[in-house]
A and B are shown apart, each in its own frame.
Chain A
Amino acid sequence: AAGVIQSPRHLIKEKRETATLKCYPIPRHDTVYWYQQGPGQDPQFLISFYEKMQSDKGSIPDRFSAQQFSDYHSELNMSSLELGDSALYFCASSRGLAGGSSYNEQFFGPGTRLTVL
């Protein structure tokens, strides 16, 4: 079965540079979520989109922005990178606003490991 695809899998950047992470949800999934997992930490919710509109916002820095495109893929743009941004960034997708719990299970991608030097 198709899974959530994230690219790149690994990314190394210098401080103050920018980075763009991409997420391709499972086919027919219309909701995308972004999570950040610092070293040894639990995943923290950043932002989500449903039908190309922002649906929820968590602890996402102002330096970060994201959007969902017409084909439902999403991109997380990160500017003025800081050392503390080094983390594993997960994307998850689900089918939103449909009846039944099986329609809202979040499926996670393998993550993008961002290292800021």
Chain B
Amino acid sequence: GNSVTQMEGPVTLSEEAFLTINCTYTATGYPSLFWYVQYPGEGLQLLLKATKADDKGSNKGFEATYRKETTSFHLEKGSVQVSDSAVYFCALKRGGGSNYKLTFGKGTLLTVNP
């Protein structure tokens, strides 16, 4: 079945540091890949997505590239801010159709200190 593995946290960085959160997946076919962010006490917000190999999703300074050869979708940001402190979830959705469920990774807690 489909699964997502992401690096365990927590990750603690200083403001303006470089961020990488690793995510790899196992899936049949060509899934769509997502990063969701969950701020304390809030729901899930879509951060970025990629629907086919070599696509790069980007938003708010975050980027992730869909790498089929390494089955990876690592999240990166060049300079983190305190406001980026949150839990980040990598997720995939089976391709080929539209209303399939999301499969999430375990989540990575990011804390950014001033």
Contacts and interface: CB of A to CB of B under 8 A. Distances in A.
Interface of A: 31, 33, 35, 41-45, 48, 50, 55-56, 58, 90, 92, 94-98, 101, 103-111
Contacts, number: 64
B56 to A, nearest CB: 14
B99 A96 contact: yes
Nearest to B97: A97
24 contacts: A33-B101, A35-B102, A41-B107, A42-B106, A42-B107, A43-B102, A45-B101, A48-B101, A50-B99, A56-B100, A56-B101, A58-B101, A90-B44, A95-B98, A101-B32, A101-B49, A103-B98, A104-B97, A104-B98, A106-B46, A108-B44, A109-B43, A110-B42, A110-B43
A98 B102 contact: no
Interface residues of B, number: 22
B99 A107 contact: no
A94 B99 contact: yes
Contacts of B106: 41-42
Given A43-B89, A101-B32, A90 B43 contact: yes
Interface of B: 32, 36, 42-46, 49, 51, 89, 93, 97-107
Contacts of B89: 42-43
A45 B99 CA distance: 13
A94 B103 contact: no
A31 to B, nearest CB: 4
Given A56-B99, A101-B32, 10 more contacts: A41-B106, A41-B107, A42-B106, A56-B101, A96-B98, A101-B51, A104-B93, A105-B49, A108-B43, A108-B46
